[in-house]
Amino acid sequence: MTRTSAPRRGTAVALATVAVAGGLSLSAPIAQAAPPVAHSTTQPAVARNTTPVGSVEQLADLPYQALFAAGVQVYEFATIYKQTSPAPTVYYTVLRRLHNAHEGTPGSKRYGFLGFGPGVTLPEVFGMYPRSTPSTTISYSYTFPFDPRTMTPIPQGRQQCITAPSVGPIGPLTGGGSWVRSVCPG
């Protein structure tokens, strides 16, 4: 029999608690927890969240390290990309993916994202749909893949859509959201 330390047991209990709540689903465009559904055949698999976390708000229940184990995609603010052509000037908020709790810049704004469908991931680095003024917060709209080395947009990259961003503390994060594979609603 192996011994488990108290912090590890706490993380395991938190993950088990979230796994029990895994029957919850996200609804777009607002992330709200639906009642638990026991293996519903009426809801297509692609519309179900693939992480054991059922809503963005549940991210607050997990310690930071547990977010990675739970399948949450964690990103930090990387930079503002200014595009001057074609006019008018626009600014992209650029986020970079973190792969474990030890990566990233201390004190940076961090966001957690939940996806729909098996194998759905956001790019390593992406920019949020441009705004007319610089911002370090996420917005409701398309994401554009960016080159991780140059921090510039990738031409013809696949756009995805953040459908329910939440800005303002969610546990250890600045905010979070859910996303779908392609078209934004509206």
Question: b/e per residue, 15-24, with b = 16+ CB within 10 A?
Answer: beebeebbbb
Residue whose tokens read 């973190």: 98
Which of 46, 95, 57, 54 lies closest to 71, judged by CA? Answer: 54
Q: What is the mean pLDDT of the chain?
A: 69
Pairing of strands 125-128, 160-162: unpaired
Over residues 115-168, the pLDDT tens digits come to 766 667 888 999 988 888 898 888 767 888 999 999 999 987 777 877 767 777
Domain ranges, ordered by start, for the chain: 6-32+43-180
60 sits in the region (left: phi over 0; alpha: psi -120 to 50; else beta) called alpha
Cis before 185 (ω within 30): no
